Amino acid sequence: MTTNTTVRPWGYFTNLHEENGHKVKKIVVNPDSRLSLQSHKHRMEHWIVVAGNAIVTLDKNEKELKAGEYIFIPQGSTHRLQNIGKEDLVLIEVQLGSYLGEDDIVRYQDDYQRS
């Protein structure tokens, strides 16, 4: 892992590129793990699955994604990413917005009791 990598209870992410108004991350989710159910006030996201199998919750809908598939997460929508496979889930996330800090996360439910 590089110095641009942040470890989380569900896996890790690496910041690949950041400029004013956009950021690109590689996200790796461990098997049988998921991110918090969350939303963002200041950004939208595009998720592209590179390897593995995911369930994406977007508002009240769930969609299964596999390598080569992608989804758009609109600003303000409730969303969650879950690894449903036995291997790491790897995706590229492109964030667009006026503010891209990690503190722009509103958590509604979290397996790791983070607020």
Q: Where are the domains of the chain?
A: 5-109
Res 97: pLDDT: 96
Chain centroid offset of residue 84 CA: 14
- pLDDT value at residue 1: 55
- Decide: helix, strand or coil at residue 19: strand
Integer distance in angstroms from the first to the last C-alpha of the chain? 26
For residue 115, pLDDT beyond 80:
no
Cα separation, 84 vs 33, whole angstroms: 8
89 has pLDDT over 90: yes
Q: Which amino acid is at 59?
A: D
CATH topology of domain 5-109: Jelly Rolls (2.60.120)
- Which residues on adjacent β-strands are paired with residue 71? 47
Summarize pLDDT for 3-50 with one digit per residue, the tens.
699 999 999 999 999 999 999 999 999 999 999 999 999 999 999 999
> Model's pTM, two decimal places?
0.92
pLDDT tens by residue, 53-77: 999 999 999 999 999 999 999 999 9
Q: Looking at the chain, how many residues does it have?
A: 115
Cα–Cα dist 41/47, whole Å: 17
Report the amino acid identity of residue 35. Answer: L
How far is residue 25's CA from residue 21's CA, in Å, rounded to a whole number? 14
Question: Is the per-residue pLDDT at 90 higher than 80?
Answer: yes
